[in-house]
Structure 1
Amino acid sequence: MTCHSTDSTETTQNDRRSETEPRVADSDQSRVAAAMRDLKKTGWYWGSLTANEAKEILQDAAEGTFLIRDSSQRDYLFTISAMTAAGPTNLRIEFREGKFKLDSVLLVRPKLKQFDSVVHLVEHYVLLSRTSCRGGAETPLAPPAGAVQLLLTTPAYAAPPSLQHLCRVSINRATSRVQDLPLPNRLKEYLTDYTYHV
C-alpha cells in the first residue's frame, strides 16, 4: 500500500514538473524575445559583431563608450563591449531564471543586480556611471585592486538614431508620467513603446 501511494505521489509530482517546465521555457523565450525587441529599438545593439570588430569600433572612442552585441560564447546571449582606461573590454551578460545580469567572478556574482531586460540592465549601469562621473557616492562596477573600472556613459550607435527616438529618450528622462502630457494618443503610444533613459 505504501509503495503504491508513494508511486502515485511521485507520478503526480513528475506530472506537475513536466507541466511547469514548458511554461518556464515559454516564459524564458518570451522574456528573451521582448529583450530583443527592446534592444533593436536602442540603436546601440550591433547584433552579430565579433570581439575584434567591437574593439575596432571602440578603439578611438572616449572612456565609457559602449555597445551591445551578440555573445560569441554559446552559454551567453549578449556581451557589452566598452572602452575603459586600459582600452576596449568585453563583459558577458548572463540569462538565468528569467533574469539578465552581468557575468562576474563567483565572489561578486551574488551582489550583482538582476533585471527583466538587457536595456534595463544597461540603463542601470549607465545611470550609476553618470552619477559616479559627477561625483556621486556609489561607484559602478567597482574594480578589485589592480583592475580597471568599467564605466558605461555613452552608447556607440550602429547608425545615427532618429530625431524622434532621441526626443523620446529625452522626454522619458524628464518624466515618468507620459500619459499626463498634453499630447495626441499616437505620440503617447510612441513614447511608452520605449520607456528607457538611454
Structure 2
Amino acid sequence: MNKGVQNKLAVDDWTRAQRTFWEVRTLKVILLVLVLVLVVVPCRATEGWTRPMTCQSSEASGESNPGGGAASRRTVECDESRVSLAMKELNSTGWYWGSLSANQAKEILQDAAEGTFLVRDSSQRDYLFTISAMTSAGPTNLRIEYQHGKFKLDSVLLVRPKLKQFDSVVHLVEHYVQLSKTGHKKAPKSQPSTPRNGTVPLLLTRPAYATIPPLQHLCRVAINRSTGRVRDLPLPNRLKDYVADYTYNV
C-alpha cells in the first residue's frame, strides 16, 4: 500500500471519528430534550411560569419622588430584587442548604472528598451566604460578600479589589468550579496539596446535595454543559424559556 493511500485512509478514519463524536453529542442533547418535553411541559402547563423580579423605579410606575430619597428607595428595590433572584436560583440547585451552622456543615463535609462544597446562609449578620468546602486540611468556610449589587468572595483587604464580582451566587460558584477544574488539570501530579507558605488551595469540584433536584432541572444543567446555544435547539418556546431560566452548568 503506497503512502498516498495510507494518508487518505488516515484522513477518512479521522473524519469518521469526528462525525461519530458529534453524533453522540447530538444524541445526548436530543435525549435530554426528550426528557424535558415529557416532564417539563405537563408540569409547567398546570403550574404556570414564574418570572424573575426586575428593578423598577418609582418614576417608571408613574410616581413623582424627586431627590435622594427616591434614589435610595430604587437602590433598595434593586438590591431586594437581586437577592430575591439569587435565592430563586440557589433554591433550584439542590446544594443550597439554607440555615446551617458552621459545625453542621463541618459534620456534613467531614468524610467527603476534597473539593466537595455546599452553600448555606451565613452565620454573621454582615453577610448573606457562606461557601463551606472540603480542603486537603479539612472543612473550611468562605463568606460571600454582597455590595453595590454584586456578589464576591470575602478576602483580605489587599486581595479584595482583584476578586471578580458576579450578579448571582450561582454564577460565582460556577466560575470557581470551572476555575478549580482547569487549575487542577494543569497542576503537576507531584505538586503537594499544601504549599510551603502554609496556605491551602480551595477547590470547588463537587456539590454536596441537600436535596436531589427535579429531573427536569438536572436535564437543563446537562444541556447547558453540552451547548451554549439553547435558542437554536428545535424546542417549543416554553421549553427554551425554561432552560434559559437557569443558564448555569453546576
**Shorter-chain TM-score range:** 0.7 to 0.9
Give the match's secondary structure for 1:80. strand
Determine the C-alpha separation between the residues in 1 that align with 2:177 and 2:221.
14
Query: Cα offset for 1:197?
Result: 0.9
Alignment match, 2:133? 82
Determine the C-alpha separation between the residues in 1 that align with 2:186 and 2:243.
31
Determine the C-alpha separation between the residues in 2 that align with 1:28 and 1:160.
29
Q: Structure 1, residues 115-158: CA drift from partner, whole Å, max 9, x if none? A: 0000010010000001111117xxxxxx8921111000111110
Give the match's secondary structure for 2:142. strand
Could you say which structure has the larger radius of gyration? 2
Alignment match, 1:153? 205
Determine the C-alpha separation between the residues in 1 that align with 2:196 and 2:79.
33
Two-structure CA RMSD over aligned residues (Å): 1.7
Mapping of residues 73-152 of structure 1, within 5 Å: 73-135=124-186, 145-152=197-204
Mean CA deviation greater in 175-184 or 54-63: 175-184
Q: Do structure 1's residue 64 and structure 2's residue 115 form an aligned pair?
A: yes
Alignment match, 1:188? 240
Give the match's secondary structure for 1:46. coil
Identity of aligned residues (%): 72
Instruction: Calculate the TM-score normalised by the size of structure 2.
Output: 0.69
Query: Cα offset for 1:190?
Result: 1.8
Determine the C-alpha separation between the residues in 2 that align with 1:87 and 1:93.
20
Alignment match, 1:173? 225
Determine the C-alpha separation between the residues in 1 that align with 2:97 and 2:132.
10
Determine the C-alpha separation between the residues in 2 that align with 1:28 and 1:20.
12
Mean CA deviation greater in 105-114 or 17-26: 17-26
Change (3 A) 1:120 1:149: same
Query: Cα offset for 1:177?
Result: 1.3
Q: Do structure 1's residue 49 and structure 2's residue 100 form an aligned pair?
A: yes
Alignment match, 1:21? 72
Give the match's secondary structure for 2:114. coil
Alignment match, 1:140? none
Give 1:182's aligned amino acid.
Answer: P
Q: What are the ranges of 5 or more consecutive residues in structure 1 without an aligned counterpart?
A: 1-14, 137-142
Determine the C-alpha separation between the residues in 2 that align with 1:100 and 1:144.
31
Determine the C-alpha separation between the residues in 1 that align with 2:213 and 2:136.
27
Query: Cα offset for 1:186?
Result: 2.7
Give 1:153's aligned amino acid.
Answer: T
Give 2:162's aligned amino acid.
Answer: K
Give 1:59's aligned amino acid.
Answer: Q
Give 2:68's aligned amino acid.
Answer: R
Give 1:177's aligned amino acid.
Answer: R
